[in-house]
A and B are shown apart, each in its own frame.
Chain A
Amino acid sequence: MNIMTLLVEWFSDPAQWSGPAGIPTRLVEHVYYSLLGLGLSTVIAVPVGLLTGHTGVGGFLTTSLANFARALPTIGVLFLIVLLAGIGLVPVVCALVALAVPPILVNTHEGVRGVDPGLKDAALGMGMRGREVLFKLELPVATPLILMGMRTAAVQVVATATIAAYVGVGGLGRYIVDGQARQDLSMLLGGSVLVVALAVLTTLLFAGLRRVLVAPGLRAEAAAAR
């Protein structure tokens, strides 16, 4: 039997589409963990990045920390938190946050810091205060870069949320872990295809977000620069 027929059989089995171990439940779990991880990371990384980028204070420290965090093996973080906090949602989300914060933080910091000094001079010279410079100039101009960082983080989070299965809280990783344990190739493949599809969907979602959140003037400018 080839891979395609294996996959078609696995996906067409009605038992896969219902119950607590069915695809819909696993998918919802997976999306939930991913959103939680990404959401928390954004709430942490964007304000910090805006602050360090705007003030220029602590920039070296945060980017160094972010790069250090990048080097952490996610599985290692997962089991470390399991040792500290026990099995459950907490270690999963912590591991995902450790994974997602660095790209968002670095991109936000660089995005704000990279705003043309001439624009900042104009903004201050027209009588904008620090907060106005940040929200009326730096944040909108940095938005494309921040979204790019979030997209990178989101794709990594979706792919990595499979680790939830190791600590018994489900998600699409269940199929991969169980498939490996049971030597069930179709289950392993099916789970992988679902994760890949979700990652592709995430990329598309961010392309849509970019259309909505980035000012047309910046989109066209980025296109011209390319």
Chain B
Amino acid sequence: MITFEGAAKIYPDGTVAVAHLDLTVESGRTTVLVGPSGSGKTTSLRMINRMVEPTHGTIRVDGHDIRAQDPARLRRSIGYVIQQAGLFPHRTILDNIATVPLLLGWRRRRARARAAELMELVGLESAQAKRYPHQLSGGQQQRVGVARALAADPPILLMDEPFSAVDPVVRTSLQDELLRLQRELRKTIVFVTHDIDEAVRLGDRIAVFRPGGELAQYDTPERLLAEPVDEFVESFVGYDRGVRRLSFFPARGLSLRQDMVFEAQDRVERAREAVVAGEDPWVLVVNERRAPLGWVSARQLTEQPSGLTLGSLDKAPFGHTFDVATDSLRAALDAAVLSPAGRAVGVDADGRVLGVVSQEDLGGAIWSVTE
């Protein structure tokens, strides 16, 4: 557990980096410090490993005042990941990862063996071990940065905007990787970002900082999106917070319609009957493996002669699907909004269609869960 007790950083010229911080970071959880630039989130993070010394207040790790420890020794017991990875250009990947164990006096052989283990843990191929940082992509460098921070198995990991310099696709995969690692390792992670989406994705708890170095709100992501304490937090989390909040509700509970799903070899007249009986103007056509092919409208069905198969008709694209077991209401809503039929296609893990749901039905479901 890390506690800030009235911690502040005020520079001699009067600049306030952190005004007054009382905050408890729970062990084994990911706490995200988020806020616009100049809100003191990075300064607060750097106080934990004494890269910045607070001018007021106390910071404790598991009850011990960090000022009681020699800074270098304290830092060796806390993992540190920075924005541009900060890998040593003159050292191989393996030796970069082995840095802290070597500082701690491990034998080279043991430190390298540990480094090799970590490369595997963060998803780097062992062929990369002998390469140099400049030979790696930004995303791979950041994986090395994470491996290096974990090398001496510290209980605490400080991450200062680690993924902000990589492109969005790589960022998402690094975030997934971090979530997977954290499920495995259960470290106390303090993560700084200016990206509220990243905060919501990664954080068990989120601390929103406002300019001037004040803590505006400290809450779980769900509560932060549901009940921002003031206008600043509300505008910072974004005006689509309502939609984003839907990520916390699983799509599992949706009732999907199966009566509007037909196979490609089914005939037009069958679908026509279903459209009348089901009072719905769209049917989804799937192939024999139940993979979606596209939408057929009620108008097409009345215009086309009986006897034709549905497979022979022109179909509107089905857009993207949502995984009923793992996706959230947000993914389902997005799929429905983007679909030309205004209906979302729910699939299982193998991409087989389980059923469809219309925007109207989704609206009802959202109403009932968020009430």
- Residues of chain A whose beta carbon lies under 8 Å from any beta carbon of chain B: 116, 118-119, 121-129, 132, 136-137, 140-141, 215-218, 220-221, 224
Distance, CA A4 to CA B273, complexed state (A): 107
Interface residues of B in 67-105 (CB under 8 A from A): 71-77, 80, 82-92, 99-100, 103
Give the shortest distance, in Å, between A112 (CB) and chain B (any CB).
14
- Residues of chain B whose beta carbon lies under 8 Å from any beta carbon of chain A: 49, 51, 71-77, 80, 82-92, 99-100, 103, 132-135, 148, 158
Interchain CB contact under 8 A, A125 and B72? no
Interchain CB contact under 8 A, B88 and A125? no
Distance, CA A126 to CA B86, complexed state (A): 11
Take A121-B51, A217-B134 as given contacts and tell me if A126 and B90 are in contact as well, using a CB distance cutoff of 8 Å. no
Distance, CA A116 to CA B134, complexed state (A): 14
Distance, CA A167 to CA B135, complexed state (A): 54
Distance, CA A215 to CA B87, complexed state (A): 14
Take A140-B90, A141-B89 as given contacts and tell me if A125 and B134 are in contact as well, using a CB distance cutoff of 8 Å. no
By Cβ-Cβ distance, the 10 closest A-B pairs, closest first, are: A122-B86, A217-B132, A127-B76, A215-B90, A127-B75, A125-B80, A140-B90, A127-B72, A221-B134, A118-B86
Question: Among A116, A128, A215, A220, which residue has its beta carbon within 8 angstroms of that of B91?
Answer: A215
Closest-by-CB residue of A relative to B51 is: A125
Take A122-B80, A220-B132 as given contacts and tell me if A129 and B72 are in contact as well, using a CB distance cutoff of 8 Å. yes
Give the shortest distance, in Å, between A122 (CB) and chain B (any CB).
3
Q: Which chain A residues lie closer than 8 Å to B87 at the CB level?
A: 122
Closest-by-CB residue of B relative to A140 is: B90
- Max chain A CB contacts within 10 Å: which of B49, B82, B90? B90
- Max chain B CB contacts within 10 Å: which of A116, A127, A140? A127
Give the shortest distance, in Å, between A219 (CB) and chain B (any CB).
9
Q: Is the interface of A mostly helix, strand, loop or mixed?
A: helix
Give the shortest distance, in Å, between B182 (CB) and chain A (any CB).
20
Q: Which chain A residues lie closer than 8 Å to B88 at the CB level?
A: 119, 122-123, 136-137, 140-141
Take A121-B82, A216-B132 as given contacts and tell me if A126 and B51 are in contact as well, using a CB distance cutoff of 8 Å. no
Between-chain CB contacts (< 8 Å), 28 pairs: A118-B82, A118-B84, A118-B86, A121-B86, A122-B80, A122-B85, A123-B86, A124-B51, A125-B51, A125-B158, A126-B100, A126-B148, A127-B72, A127-B74, A127-B76, A127-B77, A127-B100, A127-B103, A129-B72, A140-B88, A215-B90, A216-B132, A217-B91, A217-B92, A220-B132, A220-B134, A221-B132, A221-B134
Distance, CA A197 to CA B103, complexed state (A): 46
Distance, CA A215 to CA B84, complexed state (A): 21
Q: Which chain A residues lie closer than 8 Å to B90 at the CB level?
A: 140-141, 215, 217-218
Q: Which chain A residues lie closer than 8 Å to B134 at the CB level?
A: 217, 220-221, 224
Interchain CB contact under 8 A, B103 and A118? no
Closest-by-CB residue of B relative to A129 is: B72
Q: Which chain B residues lie closer than 8 Å to A224 at the CB level?
A: 134
Give the shortest distance, in Å, between A216 (CB) and chain B (any CB).
6
